Amino acid sequence: MTPRRSLLVILAIAFTASSIAAQNPQPWNFRPMSARATMSSPVSKRYNGTMQYTDLAKVCGEVPADHNMAGVAFFIIEFPDSETPGEISNVSFSSKELVGGKTESTKFMLNLSFKKPPVSPVMFVLDTNRTGETGTATLVRAKDGSLTLTVKGTNDFSESVDFVATCKPRP
Distances from the Cα of 115 to the Cα of 10, 64, 78, 91, 104, angstroms: 43, 31, 16, 12, 29
Which of 6-10, 57-61, 110-114, 162-166 ranks highest by mean pLDDT? 162-166
Question: Does the pLDDT value for residue 108 go beyond 60?
Answer: yes
Kindly state whether residue 88 falls inside one of the protein's structural domains: yes
Question: Is this structure's pTM higher than 0.85?
Answer: no
Kindly state whether residue 6 falls inside one of the protein's structural domains: no
Kindly state whether residue 9 falls inside one of the protein's structural domains: no
Integer-rounded Cα radius of gyration of the chain:
19
Range(s) of the domain holding residue 34: 27-167
Answer yes or no: are the C-beta atoms of 133 and 156 closer than 8 Å.
yes
Q: Greater confidence, 25 or 124?
A: 124
Kindly state whether residue 12 falls inside one of the protein's structural domains: no
Split at pLDDT 50, 70, 90, the class of 82 is low
Question: Does the pLDDT value for residue 126 go beyond 90?
Answer: yes
Kindly state whether residue 87 falls inside one of the protein's structural domains: yes
User: What is the structure's pLDDT at 80?
Assistant: 80
Digit-coded pLDDT (tens) for 127-137: 999 989 999 99
153: buried, middle or exposed (CB in 10 Å: 19+, 13-18, 0-12)? buried
Q: Which helix (H) or strand (E) holds 22?
A: helix 3-23
What is the count of structural domains for the chain?
1
Kindly state whether residue 1 falls inside one of the protein's structural domains: no
Question: Does the pLDDT value for residue 40 go beyond 80?
Answer: yes
In DSSP notation, 113-164 reads EESS-SSSSSEEEEETTSTT-EEEEEEEE-TTS-EEEEEEEE-TTS-EEEEE
Kindly state whether residue 17 falls inside one of the protein's structural domains: no
Kindly state whether residue 49 falls inside one of the protein's structural domains: yes
| Separation CA 142–CA 144 (nearest Å) | 5
| Separation CA 37–CA 144 (nearest Å) | 24
Mean pLDDT in residue range 68-96: 82
